[in-house]
């Protein structure tokens, strides 16, 4: 039988170095659930195109707000710090890298720094419920655009905009709720049928000093997010109709402006965006979110081009509408 001194010795606590090793090892054993969520967010970014639209158009809904998936990284990073998990910390590098590859170029300094341009264009959904269209008109005049496209104009507000723009924009055309103002002559204007009882899109040729360009102004059908999912079938039909018209356009220079109720990431916009460049994507800094105006979460107002080169693009401050205006400078 061991003596008392031997028994006490056998009950000595582990050495400090052993406890330290176990503590460090625990950092790798903890946080596996957080790590799994990190990998899931990375897979969502990489394979978002494979999320089907068959159930509530979930794929398009994910496409619309895709950049916001990156919020998972800082949220999970906080959880990893609380858990002191080295495993989760390493796993978070994966979605951070994927997000950076997909969207990091939008944040590069110096992108869209400007340069020589021939035409400054602007598009804005002015909001049918805008409480002060006169103030909005003054804000838009401050942008100094050569050509302005406005959407969602009521008959009474149209009079306000016509009066406000008359001195600087001698050429104007309107079709129901969409309109175009220009410092240069407008010729061969015609409505574009996108499946509505009233006109929500039209085409005009703008005679600039550098030559004619075809300008399309459009306000595509609205979408809704509800219990049945992301309802966008009507919008998708208008996209296809407008896309066919633009695909057949004969002029080399094409500018398509308006509220498309969808982002460039949304796969459903492909019939329209195919063959066109986004001015914001090519020459703008940041995501260019335009809606809702108080806290923009998506860029659904666009300036798309073909045969002209964007040199700079930006989003203006709120004007009283629920959308923000988009401006681009183009070289013809």
pLDDT single digits (tens) 279-300: 999 999 899 999 999 999 999 9
Q: Domain for residue 293, yes or no?
A: yes
In-domain check, residue 156: yes
Domain assignment present for residue 9? The answer is yes
H-helix or E-strand containing 270? helix 270-273
State residue 214's pLDDT score.
97
DSSP bridge pairs for 278 = 304
Question: 94 and 123 in one domain?
Answer: no
The per-residue pLDDT for 213 is: 98
Which pLDDT value is given to residue 251? 96
Domain boundary among 82, 107, 132: 107
Residues of the chain with confidence (pLDDT) below 50: 7-8
Range of the domain at 149: 119-331
If you count them, how many residues does the chain have? Answer: 332
Q: Into how many domains does the chain fold?
A: 2
The residue from 107, 140, 167 where one domain ends is: 107
Q: How far is CA 68 from the centre of its chain?
A: 11
The residue from 107, 130, 165 where one domain ends is 107
Burial classification of residue 250, based on how many CB atoms lie within 10 Å of its CB (0-12 exposed, 13-18 middle, 19 or more buried): exposed
Cα separation, 319 vs 322, whole angstroms: 8
Strands 201-208 and 254-259: what pairing? Answer: unpaired
Task: List, for residues 66-114, the tens digit of each pLDDT value.
Answer: 999 999 999 999 999 999 999 999 999 999 999 999 999 888 776 666 7
For residues 96 and 8, membership in a common domain is answered with yes
pTM of the model: 0.84
Kindly report the average pLDDT of the chain as a whole number: 88
**pLDDT of res. 5:** 55
Kindly state the DSSP code that residue 266 receives in the 8-state scheme: -
Q: DSSP of 24-84, one letter per residue? A: HHHHHHS-HHHHHHHHHHHHHHHTGGGS-STTTTHHHHHHHTGGGGGGHHHHHHHHHHHHT
Q: Is residue 150 part of a domain?
A: yes
Query: Is 112 part of any domain?
Result: no
């Amino acid at each position: 039988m061991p003596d008392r001194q031997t028994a006490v010795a056998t009950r000595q606590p582990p050495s400090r170095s052993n406890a330290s090793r176990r503590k460090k090892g625990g950092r790798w054993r903890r946080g596996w659930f957080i790590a799994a969520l990190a990998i899931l967010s990375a897979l969502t970014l990489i394979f978002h195109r494979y999320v089907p639209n068959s159930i509530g158009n979930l794929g398009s809904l994910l496409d619309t707000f895709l950049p916001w998936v990156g919020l998972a990284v800082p949220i999970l990073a906080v959880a990893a710090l609380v858990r002191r998990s080295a495993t989760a910390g390493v796993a978070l590098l994966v979605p951070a890298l994927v997000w950076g590859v997909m969207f990091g170029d939008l944040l590069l300094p110096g992108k869209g720094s400007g340069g020589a341009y021939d035409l400054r264009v602007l598009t804005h959904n002015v909001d049918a419920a805008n409480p002060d269209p006169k103030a909005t008109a003054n804000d838009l005049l401050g942008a100094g655009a050569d050509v302005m496209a406005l959407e969602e104009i009521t008959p009474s507000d149209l009079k306000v905009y016509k009066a406000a723009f008359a001195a600087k924009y001698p050429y104007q055309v309107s079709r129901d709720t969409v309109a175009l103002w220009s410092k240069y002559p407008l010729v061969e204007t015609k409505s574009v049928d996108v499946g509505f009882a009233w006109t929500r899109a039209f085409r005009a040729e703008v005679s600039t000093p550098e030559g004619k360009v075809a300008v399309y102004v459009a306000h595509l059908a609205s979408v809704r997010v509800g219990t049945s999912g992301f309802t966008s079938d009507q919008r998708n039909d208008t996209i296809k109709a407008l896309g066919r018209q633009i695909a057949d356009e004969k002029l080399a220079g094409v500018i398509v402006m308006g509220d498309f109720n969808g982002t460039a990431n949304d796969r459903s916009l492909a019939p329209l965006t195919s063959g066109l460049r986004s001015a914001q994507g090519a020459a703008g800094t940041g995501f260019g979110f335009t809606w809702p105006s108080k806290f923009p979460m998506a860029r659904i107002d666009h300036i798309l081009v073909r045969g002209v080169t964007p040199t700079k693009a930006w989003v203006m401050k709120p004007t009283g509408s629920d959308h923000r205006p988009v401006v681009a400078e183009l070289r013809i």
